[in-house]
Amino acid sequence: MDPKPAKKKRAAAKAAPPTLEQWQQAYDLADRIRDLAPWTWMCDIDVIGFEDPDDGSPRFFSVMGKAGQHVAVAVYHGPEDVFRILDLGRDPGVVPDSLFETAQVQLSFEDRDCLEAEDREVIRSLGRKYRGRQAWPWFRSYLPGQYPWHVNGNELRLLTAGLEQVLAVTPRFRDDEDALERLNRVLMEEDVFLMRRPVTADGVTTWHDSMELVERPERVVVSKVKADMLARAARFPVENCRLEIEVRPLVRPVQERSGQRPFFFYVVLVVESGSGMAIGYDTLRPRPTLDAAYSQAAEVLLEALIQGGFRPKEACVRTEGVAALFRGLCDRLGITLTVTPSVPKAAEAFTAMAEFLDIEP
């Protein structure tokens, strides 16, 4: 029997919408989370991990809302997503754009005006009633480069698993600030997380805690560059100049078809730092994934060099994540790639472009 149809069937099942039973469980948990209000003593960098009972993958959750603005629980798909969030507090070069690069599912509590027709229909079907500000449960999927969207059945399963962990774990820190501070310190300084794993014996499952070092996944993006273009650029003279490279999303969602999940275009800008002149530019579509778009970023730089007929002595980027997109090309062309806290000329060019398009930079 050909296994391919079975694979397609499993993939389709994962993307199926949640059942009414799943929604019932999710809203039950949401009501309990709202009553518990863990955001009054937890914050978004108090991250706790747990083993996914469905597939054994490491998952993580954090609680937001201590400042009272965005009240939510986020469940992160994996370590790479958690480290992007933690880097916001560790690396001064990281800007909030990294939030667009995390895979997570969220339960947030919103005003009624935020809900869409699908959300209100689920609430009506369950016979539930909510009233007041930040009282309405809102379930959303966040994927790299994509607009927040309605959760599918598998995403809601993951979120409910995380919500159960929030209810089980966070109350122990409500009256023990010292324990929470110790937990946060080893997390931020040593990448050691409180991890919870299920153990089943005699048909009964219990959850066990341990402190575990979580390795930061190495980011691997395979760049697409044409061999003939690379060979041509390698023959260009090296000029004593520096380029600044910026890679950022345009924060305006694009929906190509009705009912389809919107996405954010990503901009690659190559700017000569001395003159502030943009010598290379392109917009990339994060379809099917953001990494697919990132694989084209090096080619934007390569085309700019061919257009100018030179190789710079140095290229500067803002973060290690952006550096990973260009390191292979720069190594092959003998260009020194430097990570610096800011790329002011490229940032100015991006802001000017965003303002011209009437988009918040």
Tell which wins on pLDDT, 26 or 319.
26
- Name the band, by pLDDT with cuts 50, 70 and 90, for residue 9: very low
User: In CATH, what number does 227-356 get?
Assistant: 3.30.420.10
For the chain, what percentages of helix, strand and coil (3-state, to nearest 5) are there? 40, 25, 35
Rounded CA separation 328/223 (Å)? 8
Terminus-to-terminus CA distance in the chain, angstroms? 53
Which own/partner pairs from 277-283 qualify as long-range (CB within 8 Å, at least 24 positions apart)? 278/349, 279/243, 279/304, 279/307, 279/308, 280/304, 280/305, 280/307, 283/250
Residue pair 196/207 in contact by the 8 Å Cβ criterion? yes
Spatial strand order in the sheet of 58-64: 136-142, 104-110, 72-76, 58-64, 48-51, 192-201, 204-213
Residue located via tokens 């778009």: 293
Round to whole Å and give the CA distance between 299 and 305. 10
Give the H or E element holding residue 249. Answer: strand 238-249
Whether the pLDDT of residue 3 is over 90: the answer is no
Question: Taking a C-beta distance cutoff of 8 angstroms, is the pair 301, 307 a contact?
Answer: no
Q: What 8-state DSSP symbol labels residue 47?
A: -
Radius of gyration of the chain (CA): 23
What's the rounded mean pLDDT across residues 179-187? 93
Sequence-ordered alpha helix ranges (H) in the chain = 4-14, 20-36, 79-90, 117-126, 153-169, 177-190, 227-234, 290-294, 297-308, 320-333, 344-356
Q: Is the pLDDT of residue 90 over 90?
A: no
Q: What is the pLDDT of residue 124?
A: 97
Question: Token digits for 28?
Answer: 């039950």
Predicted pLDDT at 95: 60
CB atoms within 10 A of CB 352: 13
Q: CATH 3.30.420.10 region(s) of the chain? A: 227-356
pLDDT tens digits for 186-233?
Answer: 999 999 999 999 999 988 999 999 999 999 998 788 888 999 999 999
pLDDT, average across residues 87-105 = 74
What is the structure's pLDDT at 92? 52
Best CA proximity match to 191, nearest among 57, 92, 80: 80
